């Protein structure tokens, strides 16, 4: 039986299949093959990674060992990068043994030691290019590379993520700050050597001309925050919800805090103005008459932590509630 | 081999077992047996529900059909309430057939129809007592009860949740607003009849003397927001995390947006001041020297959506990182 988006049990993650395909095609045209190392942390889904591989990107990066192990188990292990630090011996050992080509980012003696002791063979030196998160000081990258090589590890190059830049709305500012960040990375690269300069993201995909591979992930489904940046990618993910209660001045649908990443604030509902979310509800002021049982589409403020709550992505053949569900993509890369 | 909290792979949900037991004991003394209908939405865990049942509470309420089906499958189906509206035929039918005693909250013709058509036999009329979410107008409850009884359904009474009151810091205000809300519920109850007046929560557990059963759930693990209310329950849940990167002015641990409910804001880290969270990281300014590989304890701002991200709760024999892990409680009631 044909199932429409409006027939799904809710809350249900829904992607507009043609919109996803267009996003993937657009990025593949701009960054073909290994010029893009898709980041799977945004979608956590091997089915979507296969769509990226089908467009020529067979190198991936991820934020957790479990994401990489899932890619390897799905036959997508040609060249996998843990774009994050780990000192977890069991997980690093599992990566070293999983049969895929594994590269791990390191930014300290301790992370180099952890890699060496667990059988990891290839590294990137993670460099802080301006965002206060992981990454060594640019001037320290060469010393760490030497240390790693002295321990018998292969250092493929450097990685640096301009996460403090990717969301800046003004393009000129974004460009200037990307250049500054990438000059830091280039300085580190000169000391480290190797073929790989990995970095960038969806918001700087057309500005960051310094990296050899772009680590973009959000472009596939797109976040509302990126909507202000005039990028050639369209929002493709919603949560379908059911109106369960209607009062005189508000209505309630079954899409709450446990179905949505909330760090970027409230979602948007296509039937009115959101007042607040509870664990299992969104209360909104309808801008048209709604009735109990009716479906609405909820756009999460942040895609990544939204998907991490769900087991399944339902793929529709177009936008809206009347679209037909044509495929199911398990969110099979959840957890750590 | 004995496992300490500091040995867990991270991020890992950890509860202080003795603190949970003390919370459960304290509430059982105040609201013994059926005077408490524990809400499982906070913990989503049949192991913890069993601890509540062992203290005499064998009636439960939940926010999703899946939570109730899990309780029924775990042998905890004596008297289960869906304290929420549903018009999902498949899920309501599964509840009707699961072998447990099931009662469903309704607040409209549509929800009564859905219950009647799927074989649900017992209802509570859900009354809006002041929070803009679900619930009929108090003056409409009697009419809905008549309608339900005319369809052959048993109406056990009323339910009303003073969710706009439970978190108010001033006790006198909380008491006055609870009384006002419960007067609305009593008015509806007079029209509806039945034995059950269900409502209240952790924040009004000692103020709401009108309900026949208190729907508290947060008391077991406690939220930071409730910490300001001087309640006889202690925070018992943390996320253990590993420091993965240390820089001159900040450090990073592996507990990010996908391990924490973020709707109440940033977590607290026991080793310094939190700057921000990313998908898999918390960046903080340490207030003492920290090193890569060291564990820290992260206190989430909101327990319920935090637990919903995790597969397992690790139960320790006390507070802190040196406590021994004595049990694992699967978070087996996730999803809808």
Q: What is the mean pLDDT of residues A54-61?
A: 98
Evaluate if residue B252 carries a pLDDT over 80: yes
Contact yes or no for A63 and B128 at CB 8 A: no
Taking a contact as any Cβ pair under 8 Å apart, which residues of chain A between 32 and 91 contact chain B? 41, 63-64, 84-88, 90-91
CA atoms of B186 and B212, how far apart (whole Å): 11
A275: contact with B, CB 8 A cutoff: yes
Question: In the structure, what pLDDT confidence band is assigned to residue A35 with cuts at 50, 70 and 90?
Answer: very high
Residue A300, pLDDT score: 97
Identify which of B78, B61, B101 has the alpha carbon closest to the alpha carbon of residue B217: B61
Give the distance from residue B245's alpha carbon to the nearest chain A alpha carbon, in angstroms.
Answer: 6
Residue B299, pLDDT score: 97
CA distances, B257 to each of A117, A262, A280, A305 (Å): 29, 9, 18, 6
Contact yes or no for B132 and A292 at CB 8 A: no
Contact yes or no for A245 and B85 at CB 8 A: yes
With contacts defined as CB-CB under 8 Å, which chain B residues touch A254? 86, 336
- Using CB atoms, pick whichever of B63, B244, B247 lies closest to residue A279: B63
Identify which of B328, B336, B264 has the alpha carbon closest to the alpha carbon of residue B46: B328
- Using CB atoms, pick whichever of B9, B108, B247 lies closest to residue A91: B9
With contacts defined as CB-CB under 8 Å, which chain B residues touch A308? 258, 309
Residue A228, pLDDT score: 83
- Using CB atoms, pick whichever of B107, B135, B308 lies closest to residue A258: B308
Taking a contact as any Cβ pair under 8 Å apart, which residues of chain A between 234 and 263 contact chain B? 242, 244-250, 252, 254, 257-258, 261-263
With contacts defined as CB-CB under 8 Å, which chain A residues touch B277? 263
CA atoms of B241 and B13, how far apart (whole Å): 9
- Tell me: the pLDDT tens digits for A201-221? 999 999 999 999 999 999 999
Residue B224, pLDDT score: 83
CA atoms of A105 and A81, how far apart (whole Å): 7
CA distances, A213 to each of A65, A73, A160, A208, B23 (Å): 20, 24, 11, 10, 52
Question: In the structure, what pLDDT confidence band is assigned to residue A225 with cuts at 50, 70 and 90?
Answer: confident
Evaluate if residue A23 carries a pLDDT over 90: yes
CA distances, A194 to each of A12, A186, A189 (Å): 44, 12, 8
CATH architecture of A5-13+234-330: Beta Barrel (2.40)
Contact yes or no for A132 and B250 at CB 8 A: yes
Tokens, residue B78: 């004596």
**Closest CA in chain B for residue A293:** B87
Q: What is the mean pLDDT of residues B38-47?
A: 98
Higher per-residue pLDDT: B230 or A31 = A31
Give the residues across from B242 on adjacent strands: B295
Strands (E), A73-208: 79-82, 102-106, 122-126, 154-160, 196-199
With contacts defined as CB-CB under 8 Å, which chain A residues touch B163? 278
Instruction: Give the other-Cβ count within 10 Å of A90's Cβ.
Output: 10
Evaluate if residue A287 carries a pLDDT over 80: yes
Q: What is the mean pLDDT of residues B51-66?
A: 98
Identify which of B95, B86, B111, B105 has the alpha carbon closest to the alpha carbon of residue B37: B105
Taking a contact as any Cβ pair under 8 Å apart, which residues of chain A between 291 and 310 contact chain B? 291-293, 302, 304-305, 308-309
Quick one: angle between helices B109-118 and B89-97, nearest 10?
A: 50
Find the Cα–Cα–Cα–Cα dihedral A311, A314, A320, A323, rounded to 10°. -160
Spell out the residues 6+ positions from residue A258 whose beta carbon is closer than 8 angstroms to its own: A279, A280, A309, B261, B304, B305, B308
CA atoms of A42 and A63, how far apart (whole Å): 9
Picking from A305, A307, A331 by the largest number of B CB atoms within 10 A of its own CB, the best residue to mutate is: A305
CATH 2.40.37.20 domain residues, chain B: 5-13+234-330
A94: contact with B, CB 8 A cutoff: no
Contact yes or no for B110 and A293 at CB 8 A: yes
Tokens, residue A232: 């050639």
Sign of the Cα torsion A82, A88, A94, A99 reads positive
Identify which of B186, B184, B115, B187 has the alpha carbon closest to the alpha carbon of residue B155: B115
B108: contact with A, CB 8 A cutoff: yes
Tokens, residue A226: 């990126």
Chains A and B form CB pairs within 8 A to the count of 151
Tokens, residue B323: 């406590």
CATH 3.20.20.10 domain residues, chain A: 32-215
CA atoms of A197 and A175, how far apart (whole Å): 18
Give the distance from residue B32's alpha carbon to the nearest chain A alpha carbon, in angstroms.
Answer: 27
- Tell me: the pLDDT tens digits for A149-161? 999 999 999 999 9
Residue A279, pLDDT score: 97
Contact yes or no for A84 and B304 at CB 8 A: no
Tell me the fold of A32-215.
TIM Barrel (3.20.20)
A230: contact with B, CB 8 A cutoff: no
Contact yes or no for B283 and A132 at CB 8 A: yes
CA atoms of B105 and B123, how far apart (whole Å): 6
- Tell me: the pLDDT tens digits for A292-307? 999 999 999 999 999 9
**Closest CA in chain A for residue B263:** A262
Instruction: Please tell me whether residue B297 adopts helix, strand or coil conformation.
Output: strand
- Using CB atoms, pick whichever of A250, A279, A292 lies closest to residue B41: A279
- Using CB atoms, pick whichever of B86, B163, B302 lies closest to residue A244: B86
Question: In the structure, what pLDDT confidence band is assigned to residue B257 with cuts at 50, 70 and 90?
Answer: very high
With contacts defined as CB-CB under 8 Å, which chain A residues touch B111? 244-245, 292
Tokens, residue B243: 């420091």
Contact yes or no for B132 and A275 at CB 8 A: yes
Please tell me chain B's helix, strand, coil percentages from 3-state DSSP, rounded to the nearest 5: 30, 25, 40
- Using CB atoms, pick whichever of A85, A245, A275 lies closest to residue B244: A85
CA atoms of A35 and A58, how far apart (whole Å): 10
With contacts defined as CB-CB under 8 Å, which chain A residues touch B90? 9
- Tell me: the pLDDT tens digits for B91-112? 999 999 999 999 999 999 999 9
Residue B118: CA count within 13 A, CB half-sphere: 25
A137: contact with B, CB 8 A cutoff: yes
When computed from its CA atoms, the radius of gyration of chain B, rounded to whole angstroms, is: 21
A2: contact with B, CB 8 A cutoff: no
Residue B230, pLDDT score: 87
Taking a contact as any Cβ pair under 8 Å apart, which residues of chain A between 189 and 218 contact chain B? none
Compute the mean pLDDT over every residue in chain A, rounded to the nearest whole number: 97
Question: In the structure, what pLDDT confidence band is assigned to residue B307 with cuts at 50, 70 and 90?
Answer: very high
Picking from A7, A11, A87 by the largest number of B CB atoms within 10 A of its own CB, the best residue to mutate is: A87
B156: contact with A, CB 8 A cutoff: no
Residue B225, pLDDT score: 83
Contact yes or no for A277 and B263 at CB 8 A: yes
CA atoms of A125 and A83, how far apart (whole Å): 10
CA atoms of B79 and B67, how far apart (whole Å): 13
Contact yes or no for A292 and B134 at CB 8 A: no
Q: Are A257 and B304 spatial neighbours (Cβ–Cβ below 8 Å)?
A: yes
Phi and psi angles of residue B48, each rounded to the nearest 5 degrees, phi first = -70, -35
Contact yes or no for A137 and B280 at CB 8 A: no
Contact yes or no for A258 and B133 at CB 8 A: no
DSSP characters over A304-316: HHHHTT-SEEEEE
Contact yes or no for B278 and A84 at CB 8 A: no
Spell out the residues 6+ positions from residue A18 whose beta carbon is closer than 8 angstroms to its own: A317, A318
Compute the mean pLDDT over every residue in chain B, rounded to the nearest whole number: 97
- Tell me: the pLDDT tens digits for B269-302? 999 999 999 999 999 999 999 999 999 999 999 9
What b/e readout covers A269-298, taking b as 16+ CB neighbours within 10 angstroms? bbbbebbbbbbbbbbbebeeebebbbbbbb
């Amino acid at each position: 039986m044909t199932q429409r988006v409006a027939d799904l049990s809710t809350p249900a993650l829904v992607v507009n299949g043609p919109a996803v395909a267009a996003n993937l095609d657009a990025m593949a045209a701009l960054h073909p093959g290994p010029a893009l190392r898709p980041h799977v942390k945004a979608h956590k889904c091997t089915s979507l990674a296969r769509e990226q591989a089908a467009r020529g990107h067979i190198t991936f990066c991820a934020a957790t060992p479990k994401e990489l192990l899932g890619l390897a188990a799905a036959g997508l292990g040609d060249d996998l990068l843990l774009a994050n630090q780990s000192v977890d011996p069991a997980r690093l050992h599992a990566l070293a043994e999983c049969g895929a080509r594994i590269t791990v980012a390191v930014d300290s003696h301790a992370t180099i030691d952890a890699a060496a002791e667990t059988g990891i063979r290839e590294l990137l030196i993670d460099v802080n290019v301006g965002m206060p998160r992981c990454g060594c000081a640019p001037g320290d990258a060469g010393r760490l590379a030497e240390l790693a090589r002295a321990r018998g590890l292969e250092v493929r190059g450097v990685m640096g993520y301009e996460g403090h830049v990717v969301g800046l709305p003004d393009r000129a500012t974004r460009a200037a700050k990307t250049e500054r960040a990438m000059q830091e990375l280039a300085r580190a690269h000169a000391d480290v050597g190797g073929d790989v300069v990995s970095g960038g993201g969806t918001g700087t995909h057309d500005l960051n001309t310094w990296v050899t591979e772009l680590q973009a992930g959000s472009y596939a489904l797109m976040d509302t925050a990126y909507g202000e940046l005039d990028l050639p990618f369209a929002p493709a993910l919603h949560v379908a919800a059911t109106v369960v209660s209607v009062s005189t001045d508000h209505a309630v649908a079954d899409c709450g805090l446990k179905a949505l990443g909330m760090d970027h604030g409230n979602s948007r509902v296509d039937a009115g103005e959101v007042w607040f979310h509870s664990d299992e509800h969104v209360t909104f002021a309808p801008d048209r008459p709604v009735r109990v049982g009716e479906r609405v589409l909820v756009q999460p403020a942040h895609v990544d932590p939204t998907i991490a709550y769900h087991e399944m992505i339902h793929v529709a053949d177009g936008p809206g509630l009347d679209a037909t569900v044509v495929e199911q993509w398990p969110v099979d890369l959840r957890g750590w």
